[in-house]
Amino acid sequence: MKYLCLVYMEEKLLEAIPDSDCLAYDESIRATGHCLASEALQPVHTATTVRVREGRVNITDGPFAETKEQLAGFYLIEARHLDEAIQLAARIPPAQVGSIEIRPIRPIREMAKSG
């Protein structure tokens, strides 16, 4: 089962988590085969939001929602069940200062095939 772990944290706390820690965990979770994809994101001031309304593309500066914690990166993981996903997410370094949202992947392609 696939889960997306969304890493949220206050950007001003980024310095509290050295890149080397993140890279070390990334390496270890990839080595176990649990990690399918993972990336860190540029800060939220680089974000652009796109909406299409009545055929017109609308572009605005910034993220979709202003929140205290910003999306800082993600891990797409493979886990047997939620408990294993929680264990893997708890070891993502920014979990110590921010939070990790675990979202199960909806198997939309598989559903389309079997339906």
Partner 1 sequence: MSSNQSEKTFPELLDILYRNESRRVLATLIRLLGDFDLAEEALHDAFKAALEQWPQDGIPDNPVAWLISAGRFKAIDKIRKYSRFSTLDETTTDPTGDRVTVTEDDQDESIKDDQLRLIFTCCHPSLSSEARIALTLRVVCGLTTEEIAHAFLIAPKTVAQRIVRAKAKIRDARIPYIVPEPAQWLQRIDSVLQVIYLVFNEGYSASSGSELIRCDLSAEAIRLGRLLSDLLPKEPEVSGLLALMLLQDSRRAARTTESGDLILLEEQDRSLWNRDQISDGVKLVRQALRASGFGAYTLQAAIAAVHAESPNANNTDWAEIVGLYDVLLHIHPSPVVELNRAVAIAMRDGPEFGLKLVNGLLDQGKLKDYHLLYAAKADFHRRLHQPEQAIAAYQQALTLVRQTPERRFLERRLAELQNK
List residues binding partner 1 (CB under 8 A).
Answer: 1, 80-84, 86-87, 102, 104, 106, 114
Between 69 and 84, name the residue whose CB sits nearer to partner 1: 84
- In order of 4, 7, 87, 99, the CA distances from 10 in angstroms are 20, 10, 22, 10
Q: How far apart are CA 89 and CA 27, in angstroms?
A: 14
Taking the complex as a whole, the smallest distance from the CB of residue 81 to partner 1 amounts, in Å, to 4
Taking the complex as a whole, the smallest distance from the CB of residue 84 to partner 1 amounts, in Å, to 8
Between 71 and 79, name the residue whose CB sits nearer to partner 1: 79
The helix/strand/coil state of 39 is strand
